[in-house]
Amino acid sequence: MSKKRMWLPLLFVLPVSLVLGCGEGGKVDQGRVVEFDAAKRLVTIIRDVKNDSLNPDYSYLPPLTYALPEDPAETGPLPLAGGRLKLDAEKNQIKIYNPKTKTFLWIDFKPIEKKTGIDRDNPLVKNQRFPVVDKAKKTITLYSARQKILETIAVPEEYLEWPESTWTAGDEVRIYYKEEGKALRFMNITQTDIFKK
């Protein structure tokens, strides 16, 4: 059996093992990281209320904060936080989390250039860092690996002064817990390659 085929069943077992692996009564939470305090080991997420990997819905409020597991073996790669929750390339809108108000904000944008079907290995995005904020041109270039979209947009000028992290899509994570706010297992879905040797 090939290594790829050997791993395939694990893709289906993984969510179940997270629930059952630490004993009875645990719960699993999944969402996008909007804040991460590395010193305090606290991660804040917006829960995915749909739990659909192809079409997630990060709309649960208030944000949920978890302490990372005390056991390093139960903690995956540390997360990247960001404010971008949804890039709607059809309606030309971007949904962000505003940490000051602890709410969501929809921002209308003007599309400048859009390329679709862009995989992670495409030379246009591979080893490149996004977002790219160009204050001179008043544009922001975003890449969505899930949607395979590379798009340059123009937003109202006042938003160009917001932190670069505003336009970053934070990592998607899965958390197993028994006690509210205290993770027993932490998996960084975005940064975990289960096929890696």
pLDDT category at 194 given cuts 50, 70, 90 is low
When computed from its CA atoms, the radius of gyration of the chain, rounded to whole angstroms, is 18
Share of the chain above pLDDT 90, in %: 76
For the domain bounded by 3-81+170-188, which CATH number is listed?
Answer: 2.40.50.320
Q: How far apart are CA 47 and CA 67, in angstroms?
A: 16
**In the chain, what are the domain boundaries?**
3-81+170-188, 84-167
Does pLDDT of 21 surpass 60? Answer: no
Q: What phi and psi values does residue 29 have, to the nearest 5 degrees? A: -120, 145
Query: What pLDDT is stored for residue 85 in this prediction?
Result: 97
Tens-digit pLDDT profile for residues 52-64: 777 899 999 999 9
Whether pLDDT at 6 is above 70? no
Q: Tens digits of per-residue pLDDT, 125-184?
A: 999 999 999 999 999 999 999 999 999 999 999 999 999 999 999 999 999 999 999 999
Instruction: Report how far apart the first and last C-alpha atoms of the chain are (Å, whole number).
Output: 16
